[in-house]
């Protein structure tokens, strides 16, 4: 398999790519959705009912993420290498709200579920950096009557970010790779079908077979830090 046979690569990552960096996934054993109810802390209704609970949930995620031992891993770095060495177009779509892909050096990244280190004005949609705890007293500076800032996170019941660009790239992709995602949350779980409908070859790299593994042309089970560097090396070296 050589990267030279492809013109456009779209990679989709999920929580599994950051797991070996020390960030808990959602649906594995000890995952976040074992401890929290998704509808309480990650939904539009949950935020309306109890904004403090939701802010606290993301404050904990932010504190956890900002620990100095949390660093990009070999899978993040391998994707940087692929982006740099590939002469065609490359898009990295992540469902992750951490910025480990950017810390590693990835450039063309879309955070379809938002970003943990950002907050947003709900009125103007202005996005600002946010590395500290957020409270309901944190107001925007963009509106005449300041509004309480909210996490820059896509909750269940909201539209993911960057979908126009993502679907545009998927409609031209000839290689689609999904890494570390359980394939349970749409629309991301539908991207493989989208790419396949235009003839793209599809590869899944995941610890366990995902919910949608049967849609892929190739499924490889294992750890992202081992599988991603191996795949990137075989793509770049034509092995």
> Which residues are identified as catalytic?
113
Which residue, 3 or 94, has its beta carbon nearer to ligand OAD? 94
C-alpha dist (Å) from residue 196 to 74, 150, 199: 28, 36, 5
For 225, phi and psi rounded to 5 degrees?
A: -65, -20
Tokens representing 153 are 């996170």
- The three-point CA angle 223-82-190 to 5° equals 65
Min. distance of Cβ 17 from ligand OAD in angstroms?
A: 7
Query: Contact residues for ligand OAD (CB under 6 A)?
Result: 14-16, 19-20, 25-28, 31, 38, 42, 95, 113, 154, 180-182, 184-185, 206-208, 210, 223-224
The rounded distance, in Å, linking the Cα atoms of 132 and 118 is 10
Which residue, 185 or 203, has its beta carbon nearer to ligand OAD? 185
Closest among 94, 95, 92, 122 to 107, alpha carbons compared: 92
Min. distance of Cβ 209 from ligand OAD in angstroms?
A: 8
The residue nearest ligand OAD at its CB is 16
Which residue, 117 or 142, has its beta carbon nearer to ligand OAD? 117
Which residue, 4 or 218, has its beta carbon nearer to ligand OAD? 218
The helix/strand count (H/E) of the chain reads as: 10, 9
Min. distance of Cβ 97 from ligand OAD in angstroms?
A: 7
Min. distance of Cβ 197 from ligand OAD in angstroms?
A: 22
């Amino acid at each position: 398999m050589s990267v030279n046979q492809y013109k456009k690569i779209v990679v989709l990552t999920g929580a599994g790519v950051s797991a070996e960096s020390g960030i808990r996934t959602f649906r594995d054993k000890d995952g976040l959705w074992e401890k929290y109810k998704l509808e309480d802390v990650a939904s539009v209704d949950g935020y309306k009912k109890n904004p403090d609970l939701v802010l606290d949930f993301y404050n904990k995620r932010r504190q956890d993420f900002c620990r100095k031992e949390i660093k990009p891993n070999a899978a993040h770095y391998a994707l940087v290498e692929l982006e740099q060495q590939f002469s065609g177009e490359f898009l990295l779509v992540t469902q992750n709200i951490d910025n480990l892909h950017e810390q590693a050096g990835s450039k063309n990244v879309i955070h379809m579920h938002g970003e943990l280190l950002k907050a947003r004005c709900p009125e103007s949609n202005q996005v600002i950096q946010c590395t500290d705890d957020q409270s309901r007293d944190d107001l925007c500076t963009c509106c005449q009557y300041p509004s309480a800032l909210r996490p820059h996170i896509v909750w269940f019941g909201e539209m993911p970010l960057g979908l126009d660009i993502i679907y545009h790239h998927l409609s031209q992709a000839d290689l689609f790779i999904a890494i570390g995602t359980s394939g349970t949350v749409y629309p991301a779980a539908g991207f493989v079908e989208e790419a396949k409908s235009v003839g793209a070859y599809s590869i899944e790299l995941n610890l366990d077979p995902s919910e949608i593994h049967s849609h892929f042309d190739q499924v490889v089970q294992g750890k992202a830090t081992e599988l991603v560097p191996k795949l990137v090396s075989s793509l770049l070296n034509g092995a």
